[in-house]
Amino acid sequence: MASKVIKGGTVVTADLTYKADVKVEDGKIVEIGPDLSGDTVLDASGCYVMPGGIDPHVHLEMPFMGTYSTDDFESGTRAGLAGGTTMVVDFCLPAPGQSLLEALTMWDNKSTRANCDYSFHMAITWWGEQVFNEMETVVRDKGINTFKHFMAYKGALMVQDDEMYASFQRCAELGAMPLVHAENGDVVADLSARLLAEGNNGPEAHAYSRPPQVEGEATNRAIMIADMAGVPLYVVHTSCEESHEAIRRARQQGKRVYGEPLIQHLTLDDSEYFNKDWDHAARRVMSPPFRNKQHQDSLWAGLASGSLQVVATDHCAFTTEQKRTGLGDFTKIPNGTGGLEDRMPMLWSNGVATGRLTMNEFVAVTSTNIAKILNIYPRKGAILVGADADIVVWDPAKEKTISAASQQSSIDYNVFEGKHVTGLPRFTLTRGEVAIDDGAVKTREGHGQFVAREPYQAVGRALSTWKELTAPRKVERSGIPQSGV
Amino acid sequence: MASKVIKGGTVVTADLTYKADVKVEDGKIVEIGPDLSGDTVLDASGCYVMPGGIDPHVHLEMPFMGTYSTDDFESGTRAGLAGGTTMVVDFCLPAPGQSLLEALTMWDNKSTRANCDYSFHMAITWWGEQVFNEMETVVRDKGINTFKHFMAYKGALMVQDDEMYASFQRCAELGAMPLVHAENGDVVADLSARLLAEGNNGPEAHAYSRPPQVEGEATNRAIMIADMAGVPLYVVHTSCEESHEAIRRARQQGKRVYGEPLIQHLTLDDSEYFNKDWDHAARRVMSPPFRNKQHQDSLWAGLASGSLQVVATDHCAFTTEQKRTGLGDFTKIPNGTGGLEDRMPMLWSNGVATGRLTMNEFVAVTSTNIAKILNIYPRKGAILVGADADIVVWDPAKEKTISAASQQSSIDYNVFEGKHVTGLPRFTLTRGEVAIDDGAVKTREGHGQFVAREPYQAVGRALSTWKELTAPRKVERSGIPQSGV
Amino acid sequence: MASKVIKGGTVVTADLTYKADVKVEDGKIVEIGPDLSGDTVLDASGCYVMPGGIDPHVHLEMPFMGTYSTDDFESGTRAGLAGGTTMVVDFCLPAPGQSLLEALTMWDNKSTRANCDYSFHMAITWWGEQVFNEMETVVRDKGINTFKHFMAYKGALMVQDDEMYASFQRCAELGAMPLVHAENGDVVADLSARLLAEGNNGPEAHAYSRPPQVEGEATNRAIMIADMAGVPLYVVHTSCEESHEAIRRARQQGKRVYGEPLIQHLTLDDSEYFNKDWDHAARRVMSPPFRNKQHQDSLWAGLASGSLQVVATDHCAFTTEQKRTGLGDFTKIPNGTGGLEDRMPMLWSNGVATGRLTMNEFVAVTSTNIAKILNIYPRKGAILVGADADIVVWDPAKEKTISAASQQSSIDYNVFEGKHVTGLPRFTLTRGEVAIDDGAVKTREGHGQFVAREPYQAVGRALSTWKELTAPRKVERSGIPQSGV
Amino acid sequence: MASKVIKGGTVVTADLTYKADVKVEDGKIVEIGPDLSGDTVLDASGCYVMPGGIDPHVHLEMPFMGTYSTDDFESGTRAGLAGGTTMVVDFCLPAPGQSLLEALTMWDNKSTRANCDYSFHMAITWWGEQVFNEMETVVRDKGINTFKHFMAYKGALMVQDDEMYASFQRCAELGAMPLVHAENGDVVADLSARLLAEGNNGPEAHAYSRPPQVEGEATNRAIMIADMAGVPLYVVHTSCEESHEAIRRARQQGKRVYGEPLIQHLTLDDSEYFNKDWDHAARRVMSPPFRNKQHQDSLWAGLASGSLQVVATDHCAFTTEQKRTGLGDFTKIPNGTGGLEDRMPMLWSNGVATGRLTMNEFVAVTSTNIAKILNIYPRKGAILVGADADIVVWDPAKEKTISAASQQSSIDYNVFEGKHVTGLPRFTLTRGEVAIDDGAVKTREGHGQFVAREPYQAVGRALSTWKELTAPRKVERSGIPQSGV
Ligand SMILES: [Zn+2]
Ligand SMILES: [Zn+2]
Ligand SMILES: [Zn+2]
Ligand SMILES: [Zn+2]
Ligand SMILES: [Zn+2]
Ligand SMILES: [Zn+2]
Ligand SMILES: [Zn+2]
Ligand SMILES: [Zn+2]
């Protein structure tokens, strides 16, 4: 394969900022330094050369009520690359009772058209001996070290506390990490029914049905269960202060917990649901819903201080047509918004440009932190010799106004419509191939490969050591019982 | 009925301290002032004349595994009176599937021998239309305005989140207040099984099986559910910082939540479970278990600052013989300790004498606060004309060393054995009758009466107003859906 | 003196709500009960009979830059009575170097025209042996048990940490309680100068110059110093979450700290300073300045949960003319707003009517709590036989729109202008005299008397006991030093 | 210069763990990879090859009461190298009134004998135009980007709030960062005098004189001042929960604050001061003093969660003879303990070996984090090509029992005496020279060089951007004042 040199840029990683050229060959970074030459030169002058983004939370072609979310692995990864994201992690969702391995086959089939690398989290949607056993296969043979648990979606994906506790313990044994969608499903279900019964059937009722404390409670519960099981925990789509508070409090006690705000929650607020246009509001329906500005401030501070580690999207794109399924009944509006294409420009514009985050922190929360957490660092998330050449050449002066009219995503709207961003990819490389070339989309369908991930990440191992050291010890007694008073 | 005058003492209430005589007739306080005379004079010189204690958390003659807790309404209330407590509130526990009203009849039968007044909390141990309907009868006709929910004791008393949410909403409608035993029953059950499987079968494993965060989690969950239901919440036996933190955090947000530390958790710690004598440890088995000194400090500070409101006992006395049921399997050790007789002297000695609490605060947390919360103030919990003459004449100089040998309780040990207390009743009056007369026990079996309690306490009513005011409102839209992007 | 009977109303106190008539004679409550008769009858039907309000924080005829605040003891107390307030506590402010006793004489002279009872806090504005000695006289002979300390107003009233620590220790010895105006005066002074230098000279810059964290810091500092000195602390005009957080955190540790939000901070926000009308903004200039809605929510929750105890006004009324002294230089705008007349109606309308507070809590925070804290309970703050007949007969249906045009205060505007309130006094009695009679003002100049306050309040005494018990103990060593390594 | 290869080890950095050889030449790392060769081979089999430790808080040959702390730049850096530390940062302490530049010359002279690289923090011990001006020279010409402020040591090094605020603002302008020794000096001074007056003159009284809240208060105050000045803050020797809480709370708000626990506070507790041997206790006298186990837990959790970033020593070694200056008066005991030699083995044994920290976190908190904070990364704190060859080859199996008898430090005792550690340097390299060779000390006096540090670290720059963006804006008004009411 011919070599490429990214020339004249400033390398920016999670902890370094320095001038250097980067040479790429056979999909890998092969040299970093001054004055490199290669077959092709990519002009990075005025640009930052950063690890490509990793979005650890997407749902592409997700089955939903007899249809599928509209962005599939092709359009979804194309959108991601257009925005500087070079890897996505999707969720394999077995139906209740279904074999994990069987479900995985279905997901493998869907992902063949991916334009960039990807991986899977496995969801635990039911519990039984088969699941217990297959978890081992999933970890040892299938390259998956993370298991997702839904504390909401009662009657569908939701698991009970005893199932979570059993699954988390199983994760601990296998060196895997549990993830949670944290909302109290019982309360959401009952409250939704009550709202509907009261005639509150519009999209705003979706937000009413899952207020912040419902998320905070579930987060707090999952944290306790994870600590009792002796395993780190990753909380997906942390949207509010209540959930963030639970995470902070846990970390303050030395617990190993991670939180993942979405770019939507960082930049959009709940006033969207009060829009008089039903479509406008319904298109923003996701779980958790958008929150107010105080919650946004909390999330931004979490990224700066390190109590939150990752910015994701929960990209799950439904068309307006699909959204309209919920006309007259908000509980039938498919949950999900887009974001893959906009995550990095929106975060840069609202974070780095304002001074809320340094450039290094930007790289950390869009790429490097999650690569470490998922145990794929430094293959991913790094600009290092030997790493995969998943690289974004970021032009801090390039600007645009976000619009559905010009997006890669297959849906007919964009929740960030009209937002002006400054800071966009000049080039995006996926394993050395130029997928985005100064605005031109040159993605190659099927180029993406599955990224296997090893268990026993360092933090989990350390936690196991500590839990073993501090495990309860039996009091040795003789002649039991002894005596009175 | 002949009159009595309590003479020469200092009246101490939750907010007043002043010299006055107190005259009692027909079971009521009829006059308070200087130089009163009556048929009988009780010499209160050097003493504080205080509202008799109310213990809102006792289990007398509680059914358990085919037997009963050993202190019944006779011995239990006798023990209470000996320690200055003049009213107890027991828990009516319907079996799963049993009618609430039928269970109440059983409890009514047991309580006929009580030496002092009493009331009942009704437990919600299962859920269904019958329970929903009977709750109304219980509140309107049976004088009960509190419903207890067990978040632990899986497979027995435990209720699920959706049941709690339904029941809490029902409480809100009826002007009643939910109570919770807050421990995550799923985690406790699984962990207990695991400990047993590992050979951890001694009484200390009981403590291992329900660490503080398991209580904190459940407290936090119950608080969220209560707030969503729009009803105040009372958390029984708050034993640890984790649970107290959840309560504080809720109150800090304006939520109406109460916490009840037990005298045991305030003064005894978890080192008791490491005693080499199995009996010693097993006698202290209760849920939640004793905690360490940091948790004690948290509870004391809560009483001083008002984030915790009530000191109770969860008196549920099992003999050593009964405790030994759990030899070789800690999960079979009956849960419960005594305390009714010792609550007030122990709190006085460790609280007032040390300066951690004022005398007024002592009255508040042993009597007046719970009378208000239970909506029986000022009939109970007050030294006011017209109030029931439930009075303790407290001699701050009287001392003793607590010992099973000299106690009223029917069991053969005392968890406070050997503790020296200063501050004891000179007289205890129950509705005007002298039950304790300078050490002599003159209780009268069957004197005690049921105290009916009205719903719609002021705090609950205020909360309902606020919840109504801030309820979610539907967005009115025309021509739905409107248009694009 | 002829007797009066307040007839047909519902007595509402900090802990009771009951139907009763109240009979008044010689300035005292002489009887409470059904069917009372007297020389005069005041019709309280449909009304609540409550303890008159106590405003513990006013500045009447306060010397300022060669002039005086416009409301004096006559107009100020008249305004108070019109709003249901029957006692005020003013601050005696010695000039630096001035004798405390000499200053007190000046304040005594000013207060002779008061229409209702009053008392004084003494300010410690400098430190020296004379102050140290006179503090004893002030406490023992002058009936003052509270000492105010300004942590702001650098170069004028401000004291340094070492002076505060010395003064707080002196308070502990004397059984008195320190008060603090908590803002970091060094930061305020420097920041004010910087803002002015940058051309930020309008009234909004007053708010910029003392942001919440400047108040929170000082509160936190004063709390530490008080705890080290072993004395309770009262924080005046707690306006923000930062300060409230410091108070909560202290209380959570068992420290004895009180916080006093003002009615202004509870109901008005900082958007007032952005009004394009300079007068409008300048009239709202006070320290601390108004805060945003999140801070308001924090204060309301504090009142409901008990982490804040008292609602005051810091009434210090300057005319528009006086305010205009600060045209072109915000630091010259006299600090202060009115509020005495509006505190109780505004709190009722925004608190009780909304369900944020119960009626009993309303009485507690407007009257009873501060009476206890200042050690004048139950002479003041109570509806009890023997208490001063400082009573407000509150008509919850009476309404008005607040307007300068109809107010008692001498100034030409009102910061609550246009607010509609429901709930107003039908009658206000000051020591038995009807001062407000269904809208008619019948105050009598000079009727008010000084209320002497005893030291050694119960909470302070308890704290001293605890501090003594836990004081550091010397390690006894022999043969010092002993040996190596 | 001949090349060296560190062979067969596992490179461990703050974010990577991988097998590789490391080649060193001319004091720099020149190659990292498999199968390297060089003139000399250092066998790293079974070892971790890590960045040498950086201790950012030492006082070598510090002037004190007419004498000097006993470890100078020679023995101090020798001790550091023996323990794996390859760089120290000392504090240049101008006398009040002394020129910063003049003081720096004195420190330059003392440091000539250093065995490893070093840098200086400049202390601001007084304030004036000269200091203001010289700060610029210090930053621009002298390679110093950090300024230390003492909030304690009243009458000596202590600065007032207004001076701190001025200095912090100056730091913001210059792109420098302030450091604080956070204890309320006024309280410490007064309390010390009071303790002495009460006969509390032993070393334990040193601990009594500076309880945790005295440190917490000062930390909180410094944080507020730094935020108002718009500059990041570094809190040295964070010893307790109170200080850590203030830091956490600040970070939770998005403030840029760093905390530095010492290895002593992490592993030794306050029971040491109650030792009956005066020498034993006096040798442990430092400020802040050792704290109890709860505080230790807080600090460990802070390192794991990232709310604390750096482990240092405050190494300031005084002999027993020097300590005895304080016989009969604890305030005269020179403050300080050793630690340079033991920091890394103690942290490894108590942190990594227990599972409280991962190896990567160990590197982060002993080296990489502070290198970033001080803006010398990746020259220091990294295993990267081009970085200084400050390397420790860490043998996790090597063990010893710490003892004064075998230490490098010049003093006659060791506060860690008797502690058994597992994990020690096999080799320590300072800029490529082997200073420690499997136990043999081969340091070279004078080898160490001053490390100049650039201002405008990335985090500070981001903060400046944010502060500028959110700076208060003047309200534009016309026709001031406008009109009425
Ligand atoms: Zn989700
Ligand atoms: Zn999702
Ligand atoms: Zn229970
Ligand atoms: Zn119970
Ligand atoms: Zn003030
Ligand atoms: Zn004031
Ligand atoms: Zn220091
Ligand atoms: Zn130091």
pLDDT, position A485: 44
* Interface probe with C: pick from D127, D160, D173, D186, most Cβ of C within 10 Å: D186
Quick check: C465 and B248 CB within 8 A? no
How far A398 CA sits from the closest chain D CA (Å)?
20
* Interface probe with D: pick from C195, C221, C318, C476, most Cβ of D within 10 Å: C221
Side-chain-side CA neighbours of B360 within 13 Å: the count stands at 14
How far D306 CA sits from the closest chain A CA (Å)?
7
What integer is the mean pLDDT of B334-362?
A: 98
pLDDT tens profile A340-371: 999 999 999 999 999 999 999 999 999 999 99
pLDDT, position B213: 98
pLDDT tens profile B72-97: 999 999 999 999 999 999 999 999 99
How far B55 CA sits from the closest chain A CA (Å)?
25
The encoded tokens of residue B47 equal 């003493």
pLDDT, position B71: 97
* Interface probe with B: pick from A243, A329, A480, most Cβ of B within 10 Å: A480
- Tell me the residue ranges of DSSP E strands in A59-205: 63-64, 67-68, 85-92, 117-123, 146-150, 177-181
Quick check: A277 and B190 CB within 8 A? no
pLDDT tens profile B372-386: 999 999 999 999 999
Q: Which residue of D lies nearest to C272 if distances are taken between CA atoms? A: D475
Ligand 6 centre and the CA of C238: distance in Å?
11
Neighbours of chain A (3+ CB pairs under 8 A): B, D
Closest CA to D122 of D109, D110, D105, D435: D105
Interface size between A and B, measured as CB pairs under 8 A: 159
Quick check: C355 and B307 CB within 8 A? no
Quick check: C279 and D483 CB within 8 A? yes
Nearest beta carbon to residue B228 from set A187, A201, A282: A187
- Tell me the residue ranges of DSSP E strands in A61-195: 63-64, 67-68, 85-92, 117-123, 146-150, 177-181
Chain A partners within 8 Å of B474 (Cβ): 199-202, 204-205
- CB burial of residue D118 (10 Å; 0-12, 13-18, 19+): buried
Nearest beta carbon to residue D377 from set A15, A251, A465: A15
pLDDT tens profile D466-476: 999 999 999 99
In angstroms, the CA B293 to CA C395 distance is 51
In angstroms, the CA B174 to CA B367 distance is 25
Quick check: B165 and A190 CB within 8 A? yes
Q: Which residue of B lies nearest to C379 if distances are taken between CA atoms? A: B16
Ligand 8 centre and the CA of D336: distance in Å?
8
* Interface probe with B: pick from A159, A414, A470, A475, most Cβ of B within 10 Å: A475
pLDDT tens profile B165-191: 999 999 999 999 999 999 999 999 999
Closest CA to A450 of A175, A121, A179: A121
In chain B, the percentage of residues whose pLDDT exceeds 90 is 97
Phi, then psi, of C199 in degrees rounded to 5: 90, 5
Chain C partners within 8 Å of B251 (Cβ): 301, 304-307
How far A19 CA sits from the closest chain B CA (Å)?
42
Q: Which residue of C lies nearest to B300 if distances are taken between CA atoms? A: C254
Contact B299, B218 (CB under 8 A): no
The encoded tokens of residue C444 equal 């009598």
In angstroms, the CA B118 to CA A230 distance is 45
Residues with Cβ within 5 Å of ion ligand 4? B 314
The encoded tokens of residue C67 equal 């002039």
Q: Long-range pairs for A458-461 at CB < 8 Å and ≥24 separation?
A: A458/D17, A458/D358, A458/D359, A458/D360, A459/A232, A459/A256, A459/D358, A460/A172, A460/A175, A460/A177, A460/A231, A460/A232, A460/A256, A461/A175, A461/D355, A461/D358
Nearest beta carbon to residue A161 from set B184, B475, B478: B184
Contact A223, A255 (CB under 8 A): yes
Q: What is the ipTM of this complex?
A: 0.97
Quick check: D228 and C187 CB within 8 A? yes
Q: How many C-beta atoms lie closer than 10 Å to residue B203's C-beta?
A: 29
pLDDT, position D485: 44
Neighbours of chain B (3+ CB pairs under 8 A): A, C
The encoded tokens of residue D143 equal 């390679």
| Ligand number nearest to the C-alpha of A157 | 1
Ligand 8 centre and the CA of D140: distance in Å?
24
Closest CA to C182 of C144, C149, C204: C149
Q: For chain C, 485 residues long, give each residue's pLDDT as a single digit of tens.
A: 699 999 999 999 999 999 999 999 999 999 999 999 999 999 999 999 999 999 999 999 999 888 899 999 999 999 999 999 999 999 999 999 999 999 999 999 999 999 999 999 999 999 999 999 999 999 999 999 999 999 999 999 999 999 999 999 999 999 999 999 999 999 999 999 999 999 999 999 999 999 999 999 999 999 999 999 999 999 999 999 999 999 999 999 999 999 999 999 999 999 999 999 999 999 999 999 999 999 999 999 999 999 999 999 999 999 999 999 999 999 999 999 999 999 999 999 999 999 999 999 999 999 999 999 999 999 999 999 999 999 999 999 999 999 999 999 999 999 999 999 999 999 999 999 999 999 899 999 999 999 999 999 999 999 999 999 999 999 999 877 766 54
In chain C, the percentage of residues whose pLDDT exceeds 70 is 99
In angstroms, the CA C44 to CA C65 distance is 46
pLDDT above 90: residue B102: yes
Chain D partners within 8 Å of A259 (Cβ): none
| Ligand number nearest to the C-alpha of D91 | 8
In this prediction, the residues of chain A whose per-residue pLDDT falls under 50 are 485
pLDDT, position A425: 98
pLDDT tens profile B142-169: 999 999 999 999 999 999 999 999 999 9
Quick check: D377 and A467 CB within 8 A? no
Question: What CATH code is assigned to B52-386+397-415+447-463?
Answer: 3.20.20.140
Ligand 5 centre and the CA of C236: distance in Å?
7
In angstroms, the CA C399 to CA C404 distance is 16
pLDDT, position C481: 77
Quick check: A355 and D465 CB within 8 A? yes
The encoded tokens of residue C426 equal 């039908």
Sign of the C-alpha dihedral computed for residues D157, D162, D164 and D169 taken in this order? negative
Q: Which residue of A lies nearest to B474 if distances are taken between CA atoms? A: A200
pLDDT tens profile B219-276: 999 999 999 999 999 999 999 999 999 999 999 999 999 999 999 999 999 999 999 9
Chain D interface with A: residues with Cβ < 8 Å: 14-17, 248, 251-254, 256, 297, 300-302, 304-307, 352, 354-360, 368, 372, 377-378, 458-459, 461-469
| Ligand number nearest to the C-alpha of D313 | 8
Quick check: D459 and A358 CB within 8 A? yes
Quick check: D15 and A16 CB within 8 A? no
Chain C partners within 8 Å of B468 (Cβ): 355
In angstroms, the CA C141 to CA A466 distance is 63
Ligand 7 centre and the CA of D58: distance in Å?
10
Q: Which residue of C lies nearest to D403 if distances are taken between CA atoms? A: C485
Quick check: B464 and C355 CB within 8 A? yes
The encoded tokens of residue C68 equal 């005086």
* Interface probe with D: pick from A248, A305, A467, most Cβ of D within 10 Å: A305
Quick check: C16 and B466 CB within 8 A? no
| Ligand number nearest to the C-alpha of D312 | 8
For residue D269, the Cα-to-chain-centroid distance in whole angstroms is 19
Q: Name, in order, each residue with C-beta under 8 angstroms of B426's C-beta and a sequence gap of 6 or more.
A: B44, B47, B393, B394, B395, B398, B438
Distances from the Cα of A358 to the Cαs of A15, A352, C139, in angstroms?
A: 10, 6, 57
What integer is the mean pLDDT of D127-139?
A: 98
Reported confidence tier of residue D481, pLDDT bands at 50, 70, 90: confident
